[in-house]
Amino acid sequence: MRKLDISRRGLLKGSAIAGTGLAAPAVLTTPSWAQSYTNEPTGDTVTLGFNVPQTGAYADEGADELRAYELAVKHLNGEGDGGMLNTFSSKELQGNGINGKRVEFVTGDTQTKSDAARASAKRMIEKDGAVMITGGSSSGVAIAVQGLCQDAGVIFMAGLTHSNDTTGKDRRANGFRHFFNTEMSGRALAPVLQAAFGNERTAYHLTADYTWGWSQEGSIIKYTEDLGWNTEAAVRTPLGAGDFSQYITPVLNSDADVLVLNHYGRDMVNSLTQAVSFGLRDKQVNGEDFAIVVPLYSRLMAQGAGENVAGIFGSTNWHWSLQDAGSQAFVKSFGQEYGFPPSQAAHTCYCQTLLYADACQRAGTFRPSGVGAALEDFEFDGLGNGPTLYRAGDHQCFKDVLVVKGKENPNSEYDLLEIVEITPRSAVEYPVDLFEGELGPYNDGA
Amino acid sequence: MDAILLQILNGLDKGGAYALIALGLTIIFGTLGVVNFAHGALFMLGAFCAVTVKTLLSLEQVVEDPNQLTAWGTPVEIRTPYVEAWFGDFGLTLLQYSVPVSILIAIPVMLAIGIAMERGLIRFFYKRPHAEQILVTFGLAIVIQEIVKAQFGANPIPQPAPDILRGMVDFGTVIGLEAGNVAYPAWRLVYFLFSAAIIGLVFAFLQFTTFGMVVRAGMADRETVGLLGIDIDRRFTIVFGMAAVVAGLAGLMYTPILSPDYHMGMDFLVLSFVVVVVGGMGSLGGAVAAGFLLGIVQSFASMNEVKAILPGIDQIIIYLIAVVILLTRPRGLMGRKGVMEH
């Protein structure tokens, strides 16, 4: 029998190795090692947070956004017909969730209020373990939630937000926007307005009094004044004012021959309906037919305003009548699920979910910095609007912009807008430093 | 001049809504001594009477046409309203006039809702402090709102006026001005006339009927009227129902101006309480006068010339006036001594 001979040096070495071995599992299970970024999924599911307005001035859009998110989750998990997964140029997603994890989701009501939106996003991050927050509408809300996600260390995939500030002065590394912005609307609309109404017009703006309204007003004034138009007045109206008559009556007594309604959602439905009821669409000023312009249009708003939209120009991010394969696949999938066509809000939210999932898959992680790197300067196609770029410098998507007009004789309650111009991406692109702002570094959180 | 006239007209139709809600609030406060924060919900319920009638009249026969497909591949549905299928052109006219037609339904419905609200809840709080009344009625308003939201959704539901009343009226010629100078939407003028008529009817009812005389006596001295063997409680319950009808009709007729949604009552309630306070708690005349006054002042404050001097004044003018009036006349414009002062 061999005698066990333990030297002092051998004992120390053995203890060190044994100690390291015993300690290793403990080290790996401590929070700082096990979760190297906020809400890193450890089970076989991953949770996304859908934060949309279910009440308030933009509830219509919010309801449609939620439908689109639920459809996207179905397609990511391999249920349904796959929608735009079949047309998306990236083929990383296989219908087995994201990175092999089944996709689950939680929802919140932003109430179209920044504080409520931040509170529900915070709950989804801290209590529900959401690894990504997405949603809209309202740029004020989007900017507030984007800031929260940056601080918390999760990705924010903006839903419907149109203010330049979202990817301009308020841009953040953890935030990404697929939707277009007011700068692009201005660039796309101006030539169409010039062709329709000429160069000698006087415009009167009614503007929702928050970041999106200011941004919209600024862009339209900038590009219409370049045409030679005058701006008679730009009057700020409170969000959710309801009755806009007191703001519309001064238009009747002004020299303006164009009314620009920088309103959205329920506010636009009310202000446009009331402007038409005050006879503005049939009015003549100095021998010119009075014109109304709604710079940001949506099918849902057109439905709310009904026949009042006839002949009125505006821009939109996407429309269900587009004939490309991606748009058609989405319309078919959404229409069969819900019985009506999707809105632009639904489209952008569906795309954002797919784009996030695809970036995670390509990066092989949910870590915000990894996902962000996969999205930066990502060129893709097959999600409608033609070839699209997610620009690295400001996390803004660039794609074709649609100019639309309210149909005079719609065939159905959904067939209210006709596309009059598809403005190519090259015409709406602008330098990354046009707006001040810094993305700053990614925050991976925990 | 034209601009000023237009803003006066604007103020009159907005003021009509304020006055009708404030009138109902004041009647309830004057008779029952209850501060009813659910009154805005009654305004909203009236609007949803119009929505319900329109929905019922719009029920459609749906036939699928397999030869035509939608963009998403399902057969196109051909829809025909039953009223059109059954009654032809008369049915379509009925559908077009759904807002005025729904008044006939709204009167008994709102009366029943008002009586049920008073008998089922409010009467248990007569002798409780005003703070408790406010809490319970505010809670009731939220419950009503959520029920409406669950039933009809959160989105506004457009209720167009009948075609004949959708255009503009050349109001200038009515008052002897040059044609075409002061044109105003016909339905808004209808709303102003309607609110004036309802206010007149309520005053006439309280002033010239035996029932109204007893109610006024009860408002002055409830105990003595009771000692005369008159069931004043039953009369006050009916008065509560009447106030609900007034608020409901105000909301119903406002629907072509502002598409109804579940929150519309709250938007008007706060302003209407300011109207009641400015007019004087318990004063019917004060409520009506303050309603129209504040509606007109709010419209003037929205004029660009005014806002150029005082930016944002349109948002705060009503509250500024309330502060000034309460500082100079603590009982409001026509407030009675002793009301809400104990």
Phi, psi for residue B82 in degrees, rounded to 5: -55, -40
CA distance B140 to B118: 12
The whole-angstrom separation of Cα B17 and Cα B283 is 17
Helix (H, G, I), strand (E, B) or coil at A230: strand
The whole-angstrom separation of Cα A335 and Cα A325 is: 15
Please give the pLDDT value at position B335.
Answer: 76
Q: Which residue does chain B place closest to A54, by CA atoms?
A: B154
d(CA A287, CA A306) in angstroms, rounded, equals 28
Q: B223 near B179, Cβ under 8 Å?
A: no
Strands A284-285 and A288-289: antiparallel
What pLDDT, on a 0 to 100 scale, did the predictor assign at position A54?
87
- Which residues of A are less than 8 Å from B10 in CB distance? 245-246, 249
Helix (H) or strand (E) holding B76: strand B75-81
Residue A107 one-letter amino acid: T
User: At B195, which amino acid appears?
Assistant: S
Rounded to the nearest 10 degrees, the angle between the axes of helix A139-152 and helix A114-126 is: 30
How far, CA to CA in Å, does A287 sit from each of A142, A254, B292? 43, 15, 37
Torsion (CA) B273, B276, B277, B279 in degrees, nearest 10: 150
Residues in A closer than 8 angstroms to B266, CB to CB, are none
Whether chain B has a CB inside 8 Å of the CB on A279: the answer is yes
- Write the pLDDT tens digit of every residue in B259-286: 888 888 887 888 888 888 898 887 888 9
Helix axes A211-227, A139-152, angle to 10 degrees: 120
Whole-number Å distance between alpha carbons of A159 and A138:
9
| Angstroms from B220 CA to nearest CA on chain A | 38
Q: CA of B166, closest CA in chain A: separation in Å?
A: 7
**Nearest residue on chain A to B11, judged by CA atoms?**
A246
Q: Hey, what are A192's tokens?
A: 């169409």
Residue type, A227: L
The residue of chain B with its CA nearest to that of A330 is B72
Record the tokens describing residue B79, joined without a space.
């829809």
Q: Which amino acid appears at position B188 of this protein?
A: R
Which chain B residues touch A333 with a CB distance below 8 Å?
A: 72
The residue of B72, B254, B304 whose CB has the most chain A CBs within 10 angstroms, and thus the best one to mutate to test that interface, is B72
Burial pattern A156-194, b for ≥16 Cβ within 10 A else e, equals: bbbbbbbbbbbbbebbbbbbbbbbbbbbbbbbbbbebbb
For residue A329, the distance in angstroms to the closest alpha carbon of chain B comes to: 9
What's the length of chain B?
Answer: 342
Interface of B with A (CB under 8 A): 2-3, 6-7, 10, 13-14, 70-74, 149, 153-156, 158, 160, 166-168, 183-185, 187-188, 257-259, 261, 263-264, 267, 298-299, 302-304, 307, 314-315
Element (H, E) at B58: none
Q: Are A191 and A381 in contact (CB under 8 A)?
A: no
Which of B5, B99, B155, B271 to substitute to test the interface with A, most A CBs within 10 Å? B155
Rounded to whole angstroms, the Cα distance separating A410 from A419 reads 13
Q: Rounded to a whole number, what is the distance in Å from the CA of B186 to chain A's nearest CA?
A: 9
Q: Cα Rg for chain A, rounded, in angstroms?
A: 25
Cis, peptide link before residue A137, omega less than 30° from 0: yes
Nearest to A332 among B72, B184, B304 (CB): B72
Give whole-number Cα distances, A345 to A62, A64, A71, A372, B223, in Å: 8, 7, 13, 23, 62
Angle, in degrees to the nearest 10, between helices B264-279 and B2-32: 80
Tens of pLDDT along chain A (446 residues) come to 444 444 555 545 545 454 444 444 443 444 444 468 999 999 999 999 999 998 776 787 899 999 999 999 999 999 999 999 999 999 999 999 999 999 999 999 998 899 999 999 999 999 999 999 999 778 999 999 999 999 999 999 999 999 999 999 999 999 999 999 999 999 999 999 999 999 999 999 999 998 889 999 999 999 999 999 999 999 998 887 778 888 898 898 889 999 999 998 888 888 999 999 898 988 888 888 999 999 998 888 888 888 889 999 999 999 999 999 999 999 999 999 999 999 999 999 999 999 999 999 999 999 999 999 999 999 999 999 999 999 999 999 999 999 999 998 888 888 899 999 999 999 999 999 999 999 999 999 97
CB atoms B166 and A245 under 8 Å: no
Q: Nearest Cα to B257, choosing from A239, A274, A302, A249?
A: A274
Amino acid identity of residue A147, one-letter, is G
Distance CA B132, CA B123 (A): 13
Q: What pLDDT, on a 0 to 100 scale, did the predictor assign at position B1?
A: 53
**Chain A residues 201-260 within an 8 A CB cutoff of chain B:** 233, 235, 238, 240, 242-243, 245-247, 249-250, 252-253
What pLDDT does A144 receive?
96
Q: For residue A5, count other CB atoms closer than 10 A to its CB.
A: 6
**How far off is chain A from B184, nearest CA to CA, in Å?**
6
Crossing angle for the helix pair B39-57 and B232-254, nearest 10 degrees? 60
CB pairs under 8 A between A and B: 104
**Which of A247, A269, A321 is the closest to B302 by Cβ?**
A247
* Residue A264 CA to its chain's centroid (Å): 14
Pick from A59, A60, A246: which is nearest to B299 by CB? Answer: A246
**Strand intervals (E) in B2-82:** 60-69, 75-81
CB contact under 8 A, B155 and A242: no
Q: What is the pTM of this model?
A: 0.84
| Distance to chain A for B314, nearest Cα, Å | 10
Q: Does A61 contact chain B (CB < 8 Å)? A: no
What tens digit of pLDDT does each residue of B50-106 get? 999 999 999 999 898 888 888 888 888 888 899 999 999 999 999 999 999 999 999
Q: Answer whether A107's CB lies under 8 Å from A16's CB.
A: no
C-beta atoms surrounding A24 within 10 Å? 10
> Of A314, A311, A324, A445, which Cα lies nearest the Cα of A381?
A324
Residue with tokens 């509170």: A119
- Token digits of residue A193: 């307005």
Q: How far apart are CA A237 and CA A235, in angstroms?
A: 7
CA end-to-end distance (rounded Å), chain B: 47
Which chain B residues contact residue A80 at CB under 8 A? Answer: none
A270 contacts B156? CB cut-off 8 A: yes
Q: Long-range contacts: A24-33, Cβ < 8 Å, 24+? A: A31/A446
Partner-chain residue, chosen from B3, B70, B149, that has the shortest CB–CB distance to A250: B3
Q: Which two tokens stand for residue A7?
A: 């030297």
Name residues whose C-beta falls within 8 Å of residue A51's C-beta, 6 or more positions apart in sequence: A107, A108, A110, A117, A120, A121, A124, A133, A134, A135, A145
Question: Distance (Å) from the C-alpha of residue B144 to the closest C-alpha of chain A?
Answer: 15
A253 neighbourhood in chain B, CB within 8 Å:
2-3, 6
Which pLDDT belongs to residue A35? 61
> Which helix (DSSP H) or strand (DSSP E) does residue A101 occupy?
none
